[in-house]
Structure 1
């Protein structure tokens, strides 16, 4: 039986990211209120453990080489390391514009930060005194995701670059392993990689999700597809077509390989990407779904909700900001053909 509860002491401004620790119930949350929050999400209600103040809104956060280390990306152009036990913060690098995303690779012990100044910084964490490797991007990055071997960078102008992490770790001034044009016609909002290291899903502002594979062979590329989601039927008598909402968040289940999507319509849906089918759709939340994250063991799904412009509420105070923790029943996130 599924259970759901809301974490106490949620952020006071829009939530930008939720990230579970790989091997525990600890979770990091970043917010536009200039804080990073550390929670223990263990049922029945979870608890806030610590808050870490920044100089400006925090756009992304991730755990690092262990569960006492976090990395953050902020509007103040900075990429930072936080010691979660002492609260000490260390500046790793400064971009020329806001830092949109951070991603840590445990297999290569590197941190990648992506900034609106159209650069990636690759930090080799074995020696943080070294200058990070700086890679110019052709367009503004909107989302990052990693597998054990790959980094996917989704950018404006429908541009997608895929890098081999081994090349980034070797400091080779690497070129992308692949350059692609997104299958989606409108701006990419989120990208998330398959835990199988075989491909990724991306979501757009126009209520669509695309599923693609890394293998460049013609046969494999023929398998990619896109589908409509996060749309509502128009009111009765309205002939204007569906009401379309952005896909704000995507997250793959760590063991089943299915994925969740969260939209501006306040809906979370689970999808079987291989079978091309929706597994289930949860009840509508009172605000836009801003971020999603599965726990490392796949037993919980964190759902962050907050008002978005699609709600007609420009002031965050007009709506609810919540972090819902959904405990998944056995088989709830399994694909249709899974045993």
Structure 2
């Protein structure tokens, strides 16, 4: 019987909202409903720095290996200095912030909120300085989730609205679309080749879309129900797809759902490549490291998962080989 990868020590005490690898090392940043943001050294399996404050961080990301960000339940966007172990407030929204991204291409920090706004911040702000956003983009509804690849930012708001931005000109969306899925979008992953994106919904479906509106590419768009190869009686046919993460080298993608399944897919050939053993609780977040040899799987209660699932919190680090992810 297959086993899970190694577990990180000292996992958060409450549900995990996000786990992200650095783009430059095997450091992992994890935000949790226990009001913490923790920096892990995955190679050494140790929690290096833990920040705690009164509010709940709902998303997190790296600025670089020495600094990070979170979006919080009180509307604040916080910055963390891992070397000094200090935090400060970059800025604020008028409602909770559930999406945070940093573009290494443009140097922009982008945040999405339930105040129906995207805000763009200058990453060069000095520590300790709070300022207003450089730019603000109103959305038709609350921001549900977003994903970034190169110059493209894909934002889901409300039930079916998908707005696509070019970060070189964020005055208006490059494209305004409706999701091909019937139910609310809860996860997005952009293709590593910057040609399109995948979205996951609360009813267990995934849709693959292309930025290019030409008929030749649009005919390749499709949707499918994200189901494991085998299910027991406790698994549903419509477990929400909480996470979509693309392999940085191969271009395959992995999905994590509320039933505790992590599945890897070949989008081009429309088939499953690999199914990890079922995790003890819902999959809250997934993240590949920079070379795709490791996959962080955050398994925890997600507040909308199966109540019968285990509520314990785990962070598993899976070793990824060609059989798990290669589409060749």
TM-score by structure 2 length?
0.93
Note if 1:321 corresponds to 2:313: yes
Q: CA deviation at 1:234?
A: 7.6
Q: Deviations over 1:279-303 (max 9, x none)?
A: 0111111111110000011000000
Residue 75 of structure 2: aligned partner:
77
State the secondary structure of the residue aligned to 1:216: coil
What residue ranges of structure 2 are gaps of 5+ in the alignment? none
CA distance in 1, matches of 2:252, 2:283: 18
Is 1:333 the counterpart of 2:325? The answer is yes
Deviation at 1:127, TM superposition (A): 4.4
Equivalent residue runs for 1:1-339 within 5 Å: 4-42=5-43, 46-64=45-63, 66-127=64-125, 131-132=132-133, 133-168=135-170, 174-230=171-227, 235=233, 243-308=237-302, 309-312=304-307, 319-335=311-327, 338=328
Task: Give the C-alpha shift of residue 332 in structure 1.
Answer: 2.4
Q: Can you list the C-alpha shifts for 1:49-82, whole angstroms capped at 9, x where unaligned?
A: 1101122111000001x21010110001101111
Q: 1:330 deviation in Å?
A: 3.7
Rounded to whole Å, the distance in 1 between the matches of 2:251 and 2:199 is 15
TM-score (norm 1): 0.90
Distance in structure 1 (CA, Å) of the matches to 2:204 and 2:114: 24
Q: Could you tell me whether the CA contact under 8 Å between 2:78 and 2:88 is conserved in 1?
A: yes
User: Is the 1:101–1:115 Cα contact (8 Å) retained in structure 2?
Assistant: yes
- How far off is 1:233 after superposition? 5.7
Distance 1:277 1:110 in 2: 36
Is the 2:204–2:237 Cα contact (8 Å) retained in structure 1?
Answer: no
How large is the Cα RMSD of the aligned pairs? 2.1
> Per the alignment, in what secondary structure is the counterpart of residue 259 of structure 2?
coil
Count residues with an aligned counterpart.
321
1:250 and 1:242 mapped to 2: Cα distance? Answer: 19
**Cα distance, 1:218 vs structure 2:** 2.1
Runs in 1 of length 4+ with deviation above 4 angstroms?
A: 127-130, 231-236
Distance of aligned partners of 1:23 and 1:331 in 2 relative to their CA distance in 1, 3 Å threshold: farther
Q: Specify whether residues 162 and 48 from structure 1 end up closer, same or farther in structure 2 by C-alpha distance, changes over 3 A only.
A: same
Unpaired runs of at least 5, structure 1: 169-173
User: What residue number does 1:171 align with?
Assistant: none
> Secondary structure, in 3 states, of the residue corresponding to 1:310?
coil
